[in-house]
Amino acid sequence: MIENNYYAKKLNSQKLFKVYETKIPRVNQYLDAEISFVRDNLTGSERVLELGAGYGRILKELAGSCKSIVGIDISNESVSLGKKYLKDCPNAEIIIMDVHNFAFEEKFDVILCLQNGLSAMKIISSNLIEKILGMVVSGGKVYFSTYSEKFWEYRLMWFKEQAVKGVLGEIDLDKTKDGVIICKDGFKAITQTTKDLEMIGYLSGYEYQIQEVDESSVFLIIHKK
C-alpha cells in the first residue's frame, strides 16, 4: 500500500514535523480544535491509545489530561523523534507498531484515530474496526475523525504548502477533487464522508454519534457499552 509506505519512508520524522509548522491560521485552528474536543471529553483518569501517532504531537497535548497515553506508529524515524519529543511527559509513551498487526496485553479506556487516520492507515475492514473495539474496555470510547467538507479549501491550501516545502510531491490538480488529494509522486489522501462514518458506527453494533467540530473535523465516537 503506497500510503503506508509513504508515511513510513517519506512522510516521517522531521518532514512530518514540518507538516505542522504551517503558516495558515485556519489550519492551526483546525489542529487545535480537534485536540481540544478530545481533551474536553477526558476526565484525567483514562488510559489512552493513539493509532498513527507520528512523532507524538497529539500525545504531548493530551498527556496532562489523562492517566497515561500510548501512541503507535509504523515509522522507525518518527518514533525515534517522538521519544525525544516526549521526554518531559512521564505518562506518555510511543512505540513502533503497525495498526494492522497491533496487540497489547492491556485494554484502554479511550482509543484515538484522529486527523483522517482512517485514510492514512487504510483502516477500512470491519475486522480491523472490530479488533480496535476489542482493545477498549467495556464503557470505553473510540474516536475516529476525518475532515469536514467545509474545510476542503483550507485542506487543499495546506497540502499545497507541504508540496512547496518538499514534504509532499507536487499536487496533481487535475485529479485532486471531491475530497481526494493526489500527488504526482503517487501519494493519495481520501476522505471518509459522514455516510461512511455512519456505516462504521452502525456496523460496530454499539451506540455511536457523529459530531462536526469547528467546521473542520467530523468525529465518529463509538461508545462500547
Per-residue pLDDT of the chain (225 residues; tens, 9 = 90+): 334 455 545 555 577 888 899 999 999 999 999 999 999 999 999 999 999 999 999 999 999 999 999 999 998 989 999 999 999 999 999 999 999 888 899 999 999 999 988 887 877 778 889 999 999 999 999 999 999 999 999 999 999 999 998 888 899 999 999 999 999 988 888 899 999 999 999 999 999 999 999 999 999 999 998
The gap between the terminal CA atoms of the chain, to the nearest Å, is: 34
Q: State the CB neighbour count (10 A cutoff) for residue 10.
A: 18
User: Please, are residues 53 and 82 in contact by the beta-carbon 8 Å criterion?
Assistant: yes
Residue 185, phi then psi, degrees to nearest 5: -90, 5
pTM, to two decimals:
0.92
CA distance 46 to 51: 16
> What topology does CATH give the domain 2-149+193-223?
Rossmann fold (3.40.50)
Closest by alpha carbon to 163, among 183, 186, 179? 183
**pLDDT score, position 11:** 53
